[in-house]
Amino acid sequence: MSTEVSIFIMDISNSSKENIGKALSDYLGQLKESISLWTKNTAGTQISHRAGDELVLVSNGYATAYTLAFYISRIWKFTDHPPYFGLSFGTVKEDVRDINIETWIHPLMKQARNANNHLKKQPDRLLFRFALPASSNEQDFTVFSKQFEILINTNLMLKQGQINKQTDIQSLVCSLYLILGQQKKVSEHLKRTTATISHHMKQGKTQIILHAFDNIVKVLDSLEAQDNHRLTDKLQTNINHHIITHLSDYFPEERR
């Protein structure tokens, strides 16, 4: 029986500059533990912290890896060293729980690596890129895999343009709104008026960015043979609950 999975390979920009290697490596170790908590009892997940500045993940569900990658990008601590993600999704014959990610060889992993390498070569690097398997005659999304790849990556490129224009406070408000879900809660956390939060959301295109994220997740869910939107909904609920419980750790005073 086939298993529907998604993959990301994450690297960090400028990780070799400055004397920051150990701090980044330690942070990735903490992030790996957080991902394990976020996906517990939702999506079977294998994750590896490799070579100091790389995370590799395979998880159940076409939308899971992108959902995790997007949240990671919004809570990321080292703003001068942003992460970037090569992603892919498709079917495998193994159960995710049986995969040894350290030695696993699969075409989907190669696609994610190709996407990551593409980003690595970009002078103005995007945060996300998908690379999908070649078109096939199977009666699933792979019939149009390259078309989906173009459309998703175009959406990501346009969304990146909005993200790049955000000021620090606009970016913070966007991230907090993703997690808290209400302007009032964001204003309470930042100790600013709801009118101020609304202004930052409007100027920072928060609704456009998060709407684009939601639409990509919905499309990825819709491509699965099984209806897995409940998995994705539960995953986001788990992530939000965990971050809210440790909100001051993810968004300390100095980030406000």
74: tokens are 């919004």
The full 3-state SS of 33-53, as one line of letters, equals: HHHHHHHCCCCCEEEEEECCC
Q: What average pLDDT does the structure give for the chain?
A: 91
Distance CA 19, CA 50 (A): 19
Average pLDDT over residues 56-71: 96
Q: Which two tokens stand for residue 187?
A: 């204003």
pLDDT exceeds 60 at position 254? no
Question: Looking at the whole model, is its pTM more than 0.75?
Answer: yes
Of 177, 166, 240, residue with least CA distance to 204? 166
Please determine, for residue 256, whether its predicted confidence score (pLDDT) is greater than 80: no
Nearest-Å Rg of the Cα atoms of the chain is 18
Mean pLDDT value of segment 70-91: 94
Classify 50 in phi/psi space as left (phi over 0), alpha (psi -120 to 50) or beta: beta
d(CA 101, CA 30): 19
